[in-house]
Amino acid sequence: MSTASPRPWTLLVHGGAGILTRDTVSAETDAAARAGLDAALSAGGAVLSGGGSALDAVEAAVRVLEDDPTFNSGRGAVLTFDGAIELDAAIMDGRDRNAGAVAGVTRSRHPVTLARAVMEHSPHVLLAGTGADTFATEQGVEQVDPDWFMTPERRAQLDAMKADPDNWFDVDMKYGTVGAVAVDGGGHVAAATSTGGVTAKRWGRVGDSPLIGAGTYADDRACAMSATGSGEFFIRVGVGHEIAARIRFTGETLQEAADTVLTETKALGGTGGVIVVGPHGDAAWSLTTPGMYRGRVSQDGERRVAIYGEEG
In the β-sheet with 178-183, what is the strand arrangement from edge to edge?
A: 126-128, 98-105, 87-93, 189-195, 178-183, 10-18, 291-298, 303-308
- Give which of 249, 246, 214 is closest to 233, Cα–Cα: 214
Give the pairing type, strands 223-229 and 216-219: antiparallel
How many beta carbons lie within 10 A of that of residue 312, not counting itself?
A: 7
Catalytic residue among 10, 177, 193, 288: 177
Give the pairing type, strands 216-219 and 189-195: unpaired
177 catalytic? Reply is yes
Residues near 44 by beta carbon (within 8 Å), at least 6 away in sequence = 11, 13, 57, 58, 60, 61, 180, 182, 297
- Contact of 116 with 108, CB cutoff 8 Å: no
Give the Cα separation of 31 and 20 in Å (integer).
13
- Give which of 218, 189, 226 is closest to 13, Cα–Cα: 226
The residues that are catalytic are 177
